[in-house]
Amino acid sequence: MKTSYHSVHQPKCGVCEKHCKSFESLREHLTGPLPKGNCSKMFAEKGCDLCMKIFDSSDAASTHKEACRLPPPVPIATILSDSAGSQNKMSSSFNGCIAADSKAVAMDCEMVGGGSDESVDICARVCLVDDAENLVFHAYVQPASPVTNYRHEVTGLTAEHLQDAMPLEEVQAKIKEILYNGEILGRVRMNSGKARLLVGHDLEHDLESLGLSYPDHLLRDTAKYPPLMKTNLLHHSSWDT
């Protein structure tokens, strides 16, 4: 019999305990066009369709779902309008407080288009939240080069948002302050010290657009996390055990 060595990160069916390559393949195993009979039945009765866990009873599953489905966070626009005192302050930046013992922050950037063909990604907005989903930093970013397409349908941005945007150098300094958390660069590179983990999707692209770099061992990029990736076209849902 072929032996497979599975990682603790690989999703596993709570009924038959088969390991799957991704959450997509686990979902297919439980709820797809050709689900596994007993597994599908148990999941329908006692499973959570969000995190894919299966519980001992339907009551336990119902209780879990109340905690698993978190309410949406307060919209950034609401926080910014409260801090600025006016909903019309389009170029607001926000510097929140972050606990010294907070170990991780998540970052996302909005890109507008530059260049004659509008294909160059230029960071125009950045947002960081802490591990409790509290807004830590938000700013519209002064474009590093002329904007030729605001990509408004996706970004929601217009020229008005960037009229008084924060200079890129100030944005870089603030993000570094949050990430390094008072730690010296040499120690961050060696063993991180007090520096925080940075979480995001396609972080390499976001950091490049900001003109920043950060040690690989402190990055948690969902674009590179295998269980969140799509499977190949063959859709192998499990490996031999």
Q: Report the alpha-carbon distance of residue 99 to residue 76 in Å, rounded.
A: 20
Contact 48, 23 (CB under 8 A): no
Specify whether the backbone of 188 is left (phi greater than 0), alpha (psi in -120 to 50) or beta.
alpha
107: closest CA among 231, 235, 229, 220? 220
Angstrom CA distances, 207 to 65, 104, 136, 165, 174, stand at 35, 16, 17, 18, 14
Residue 81 has a pLDDT of: 62
Q: Which segments of 37-91 does DSSP mark as H helices, in order?
A: 37-46, 58-68, 76-84
Q: Report the alpha-carbon distance of residue 171 to residue 157 in Å, rounded.
A: 18
Domain residue spans of the chain: 1-71+230-241, 76-210
Which stretches of the chain are assigned E, i.e. beta strand? 94-95, 104-114, 120-130, 135-140, 147-149, 197-200, 219-221
Residue 78 has a pLDDT of: 64
Residue 23 has a pLDDT of: 83
Positions in the chain whose pLDDT score sits under 50 = 1, 85-91, 233-241
The dihedral over CA atoms of 201, 205, 208, 210, expressed in degrees to the nearest 10, equals -60
Q: What are phi and psi of 62, to 5 degrees?
A: -65, -40
Residue 240 has a pLDDT of: 40
Residue 186 has a pLDDT of: 78
Q: What are phi and psi of 148, to 5 degrees?
A: -110, -10
Contact 125, 140 (CB under 8 A): yes
Residue 80 has a pLDDT of: 63
Q: Tell which CATH classification among 3.10.180.10, 3.30.420.10, 3.30.300.30, 3.90.870.40 matches the domain 76-210.
A: 3.30.420.10
For residue 114, give the 3-state DSSP assignment. Answer: strand
Neighbouring residues of 120: CB distance < 8 A, sequence distance ≥ 6: 113, 114, 145
**What b/e string do you get for 136-162 counting C-beta neighbours within 10 Å, with b at 16 or more?**
bbbbbbbebeebeebbeeebebeeebb
For residue 233, give the 3-state DSSP assignment. Answer: coil
